[in-house]
Amino acid sequence: MAQASGYFKTSYGQELRLIETTTQKVALAAFVVVLLVYPFFAKPFFLDLANQVFLAVIAASALMLLTGFAGQISLGHAGLLAAGAFTTGILYKEVGAPFWVTLPASAVVGALLGLVFGLPSLRLKGLYLAVTTLALHFIVAYAGGEYETKRGYSTGVSVSPPSLFGFELTQGRHWYFVLLAFDVLVVLFCLNLVRSRTGRSFIAIRDHDTVAEALGIPVKRTKLLAFVISSVLTTLTGSLLAYYQGFVTIQAFTIYLTIEYVAMVIIGGSGSMLGAILGAVFVVLFPHVIEAAIRLVPASRHLVNDAFAINFAAFGLIMVLFLIFEPLGLVGIWRRLRDYFLLWPFRQTAVGKGG
Amino acid sequence: MQVLANLVVLTAIYALISCGYVLIYRVSRVLNLAHGELMMLGAYLLFTLASLFKGGPELAFAGAVGLSLLVGFVLYVVLMRKMTGELVIAAVLVTIALGILLRGLMVLIWTARDLHPISVLGWKNPPVPLGGGTSISSVALATILVAVVLYLALMLFFRYTRWGLQMRAVGERPLLAAQRGIKLHAVYALAWALSTFSGGLAGMLLALDSGLGSTMVIVGLKAFPAALVGGLDSLLGAVVGSFIVAAAEILAIHFIDPLISDVVPFVVLIAMLLVRPWGLFGTKEEIERV
Amino acid sequence: MTESPPMLRLEKVEVVYKKVITAIQGVSLDVQQGQIVVFLGTNGAGKTTTLRAISGFIGTDDAWVTEGRILFEGQDIANWPPQKVANRGIALVPEREKIFETLTVMDNLEASVGAGASRATRKRMIDTVFDHFPRLATAKTRLAGYLSGGERQMLAIGSALLCEPRLLLVDEMSMGLAPRLVEELLDHIVTLKKTLGLTILLVEQSAHLALGIADYGYVIENGRIVLDGTRERLGGHKDVQEFYLGQGGGDARKSYREVKQYRRSRRWYG
Ligand SMILES: Nc1ncnc2c1ncn2[C@@H]1O[C@H](COP(=O)(O)OP(=O)(O)O)[C@@H](O)[C@H]1O
Ligand SMILES: [Mg+2]
């Protein structure tokens, strides 16, 4: 219950609960209703946006597990997405495999790549690890490009929509519910994982890997596990992306895409699943908001052709600002606002005033 | 023979670029992933100044070099300074974000067209015969000379000047250096300025030789494996690393597939990271500190 | 205590690490001009934290002085950045990482001389250090990383002197050194005090040697000052004898908490 002086946990069970207060229950119920009703009112454009957000949420959750919880920096996220998309595209093109083959196959490729991407993490930390995963990105991208040119699909590989018992997944609204279901599953999975023993080991190796080792946490196995889980979720997203867009091209998986995902983690708020969701929403919608803003302000209409560049610059700027001024991301802002209202009229100060 | 000449030229280009990574890393342990964009910015500055000073190409060139120096200084003071004391990886992420910001701004200001500063400057780039049917362009020759001079100057600077000494001290123990009265921020700012200076120089020379376009960022990124293979905190390492990466790249283009050239440096990088992550000439403890 | 205002005065200083770990609390101490003051305490008592608080070395570890004042020559220097404190006239010889190991002995010294000094001044100042520590002069061109423990300590003290401090803070000089070497170093400290008129705050774990050269001493335990006094008073104090000098009859060096006397002797219990 929310009380005037704040909300306190009175048993260990409460500590593990996902939904803590009545207010949260009500808010969540309202949110679910909105989510369910949305596709029946939204225009196709907005439906497409929602679907893109849903796709991003899965991959952002994956990166959040790896970077935000297990503390392993990866700059190979676009490479993994590409691997998933290309596994799907290649299997479809070469042997005409249906989605119930390509999707698990992508996951298997993801698991293998997770091991490959994760192996360097056993020897390297922080910066050096980031650099290795970046290098792996280039290798995956090269392999994808090779496939495209060698097989003569230099503009990309087209994939037809998944179908089951004659039902084809083409409509935006159908996609909406499929992806929403995926999101719910993935987010619940991640939330539970984070609360589990494994999840706590992730946090332990993020915060103090030497201490974790001393406590008997199998650091190497845990690191690899984090990479594998994250990677499987990412390649699955890549596979879904291939179907959703009906088209796979290596041009779509640039370093910039990786940076967008890293930005989702940073802007959303590292170390929080809510952060992954908020970050995904923010980053996917950002360019559209910028473009709308340019169109709205009459004086800047002539800039519409430069929208792409403006978007780039603004995105870089936002990332810089978050990194410097709000390392806790949107979640940090959200929590401060919430505490402010919960504790009002009392002012909340951290322990120890210094700094 | 021609292959050998190309190898030397490519080594010089990578060496010029990678020394910018080394300068910043050695002093502050930050990997500046916006280096490619900063190189490009130097080249664009040259283009703009060349258009402004139609009469004096030398003046334009000197001005652009000076501005590059200033860019690094300003970047440190207004941006990277805020990241001192934060996790190194956070600072690296800031440089990534900075790269995106710069790229957006550059497209906005100079559009995405390919530009040719050399024609604006009114300079020529005739091939220089080296005998035996081999030749390299004049700008390529200049690049080699500039790289040699720059490295010699930097080595002397580190060895014999007070600023160089302070940079070495700060690179090893920033806290102790601060306690001994060394101005950390001044030293870091100098490192950034020198880094953008050398990077800008590399960008300008590249633009003079082969025009100015978005591929320059890729070249900048490819020079970073060169720095790492040699050891991120060693200037000598940067030269050797540049040679190794350039050699691998040229061999791969020759014997495997020209398309592979963009990925070869990163393959070399991974191989190095697995065998000897601190690089050929790097300090071993560096890895533990990240 | 003398009546003249002290050179350094800590008033009820509290330092909190990372906003949660309170390392020292209510620490008050005075260092009189021209004295050698020793600061005794076991591992983790908060000695290093106190020195780092004075020298401004804590902010980088996300630790801050949250209460009290640190007055140096009348000015509050709490939470100043390290470089500013150094310029103000306080030099620290840290516990660890006290020299630049990848630099030669000469370069270590060169790097520590104040920025504005001319070449001649620099040479003169470095020569003074060599006068104090002739052993360093013979090792000029060696990499500091290859020096022996004693030489490292000398180099660290020598480099600190080049900042021309009025107050020198030395953290656990004796750590890992043979007692003979520690005696030699302490002799150097006394000489420095005499020839340069330096004021010195010396942190040590064992009172054995340090108390011998001190004018005044403080004992810190669990982040609080529990005892202070002149060398004579401390040397004669039962607790100090028992815990720091190992002279308490029976089995020497018991744990403090086993003894009730320790509680009673706390300042705030009278
Ligand atoms: N970097 C740090 N982060 C958090 N706590 C610290 C840190 N350094 C010291 N402490 C805390 O401060 C206390 C005092 O440490 P310290 O001043 O180093 O003791 P001493 O030098 O007397 O051995 C320790 O018990 C430790 O818990
Ligand atoms: Mg200590």
Instruction: For residue B205, give the CATH number of its domain.
Output: 1.10.3470
Return d(Cα A88, Cα A76) in angstroms, integer: 19
Tens digits of residue pLDDT in A227-265: 999 999 999 999 999 999 998 999 899 999 999 999 999
pLDDT band (50, 70, 90) for residue C249: very low
Q: What domains appear along chain C, each with residue ranges and CATH number?
A: 8-259 (3.40.50.300)
In the predicted model, is pLDDT for residue B180 greater than 90? no
Tens digits of residue pLDDT in A1-39: 444 455 666 777 776 677 767 777 888 888 889 888 888
Interchain CB contact of B228 with A (< 8 Å): yes
Residue C259's contacts (CB-CB under 8 Å, 6 or more residues apart) are: C239, C242
If phi over 0 gives left and psi between -120 and 50 gives alpha, with beta otherwise, what is residue A346?
A: beta
**A238, A253, A268 - which closes a domain:** A253
The HSE-up count of residue B274 (CA atoms within 13 Å, CB side) is: 13
Tens digits of residue pLDDT in A126-176: 788 888 899 889 999 999 998 998 888 878 888 888 877 767 777 888 899
pLDDT in the model for residue C247: 56
State which residue of chain A sits closest to C68, comparing Cα positions.
Answer: A354
Containing structural domain, residue B111: 2-289
pLDDT in the model for residue C270: 31
Angle at A44 between CA A43 and CA A47, to 5 degrees: 90
pLDDT in the model for residue A353: 37
Are C97 and B177 in contact (CB < 8 Å)?
no
Nearest CA to ligand 1 atom 10: C23
In the predicted model, is pLDDT for residue C210 greater than 90? no
Residue A55 lies in a domain: yes
Residue A215 lies in a domain: yes
Tens digits of residue pLDDT in A180-197: 999 999 999 999 999 898
pLDDT in the model for residue B285: 62
pLDDT band (50, 70, 90) for residue C252: very low
Place of tokens 């342990």: B29
In the predicted model, is pLDDT for residue C264 greater than 50? no
Q: Which tokens sit at C256?
A: 């403090």
Containing structural domain, residue A261: 255-355
pLDDT in the model for residue C176: 81
In the predicted model, is pLDDT for residue A346 greater than 70? no
Query: What is the least distance, in Å, from the CA of C41 to any CA of chain B?
Result: 24
C57: nearest CB among B85, B166, B179: B179
Residue A10 lies in a domain: no
- Chains with 3 or more CB pairs closer than 8 angstroms to A? B, C
pLDDT in the model for residue A7: 61
pLDDT in the model for residue B83: 86
* C143 DSSP 8-state letter: B
pLDDT in the model for residue B120: 83
Cis amide linkage into residue A345, ω under 30° from 0: yes
Are B269 and A135 in contact (CB < 8 Å)?
yes
Residue C102's contacts (CB-CB under 8 Å, 6 or more residues apart) are: B168, B172, B283, C143, C144, C145
Interchain CB contact of B181 with C (< 8 Å): yes
In the predicted model, is pLDDT for residue A354 greater than 70? no
Residue A296 lies in a domain: yes
**Average pLDDT over chain B, rounded to an integer:** 90
B165: nearest CB among C99, C107, C162: C107
Return d(Cα A295, Cα A289) in angstroms, integer: 10
Element (H, E) at A209: helix A209-214
State which residue of chain B sits closest to A129, comparing Cα positions.
Answer: B273
Instruction: Provide the domain count of chain A.
Output: 2
**A253, A287, A310 - which closes a domain:** A253
**A199, A226, A253 - which closes a domain:** A253
Which residues surround the ion ligand 2 when the cut-off is CB under 5 Å?
C 48, 95
Tens digits of residue pLDDT in B150-159: 999 999 999 9
Read off the pLDDT of each residue in B200-223 and give the average, rounded to a whole number. 90
Burial tier of A19 (Cβ tally within 10 Å: 0-12, 13-18, 19+): exposed
Interchain CB contact of A131 with B (< 8 Å): yes
ipTM of the complex: 0.88
Q: Quickly count: other Cβ atoms within 10 Å of residue A207's Cβ.
A: 11
Closest-approaching ligand to the CA atom of C49: 1
In the predicted model, is pLDDT for residue B12 greater than 80? yes
Residue C204, strand partner residues? C40
Q: Which tokens sit at A275?
A: 């952060």
Query: What is the least distance, in Å, from the CA of B131 to any CA of chain A?
Result: 37
Are B263 and A123 in contact (CB < 8 Å)?
no
Interchain CB contact of B81 with C (< 8 Å): no
Residues of C in contact with A350 (CB under 8 A): 19
Read off the pLDDT of each residue in B216-238 and give the average, rounded to a whole number. 91
Residues of B in contact with A323 (CB under 8 A): 83, 90, 93-94, 97
Tell me how far the alpha carbon of residue B121 lies from the centroid of ligand 1, in angstroms: 62
3-state secondary structure of C120: helix
pLDDT band (50, 70, 90) for residue C226: confident
Answer yes or no: pTM beyond 0.80. Answer: yes
Residue A26 lies in a domain: no
3-state secondary structure of A158: strand
Interchain CB contact of A349 with C (< 8 Å): no
